[in-house]
Amino acid sequence: MDRIFFNRMAFYAYHGAFPEENRLGQRFWVDLELGLDLTPAARSDDLNRTVDYGKVYQTVKAEAEGGPHALVETLAEGIAKRILERFGVEEVKVRVTKPDPPIPGHYDSVGVEITRRRRE
């Protein structure tokens, strides 16, 4: 299966389990990997035979900046669901990263990664 990547899309949103996260907001990074057959697009050089990257970005943006959700797991699931519903992909991998979560400790970031497949 071929892959299309979207790396580190950045959004500011109000997701989180703590009241201050919903009030103040924070940064979120979203990485996306779409699994599909790119042969028809590559052979025809036709945008209509692949996924429109701009439309994918707008779909992710709407979900990422919507909500709010208490969990990044819910955000990732919502993104995956929208992508599978709207685009002709067989599989989607979504990674949502919180670079600045309000938890004590020393780390670069926290996040989740999920993979969902189209059901027949």
Backbone angles phi, psi at 54, to 5 degrees: -60, -40
Quick one: which of 68, 99, 93 has its CA closest to 79? 93
For residue 46, the Cα-to-chain-centroid distance in whole angstroms is 25
98 in catalytic set: yes
- 55, 81, 93, 98: which is the annotated catalytic residue? 98
The most confident of the ranges 5-9, 106-110, 115-119 is: 5-9
DSSP-derived letter for residue 69 is: -
Task: Give the model confidence (pLDDT) of 10-22 as tens digits.
Answer: 999 999 998 898 9
Number of domains in the chain: 1
**CA 24 – CA 13 distance, rounded (Å):** 9
Q: Which domain holds residue 74?
A: 2-117
Nearest to 114 by CA among 17, 59, 32, 50: 32
At 12, which CATH number? 3.30.1130.10
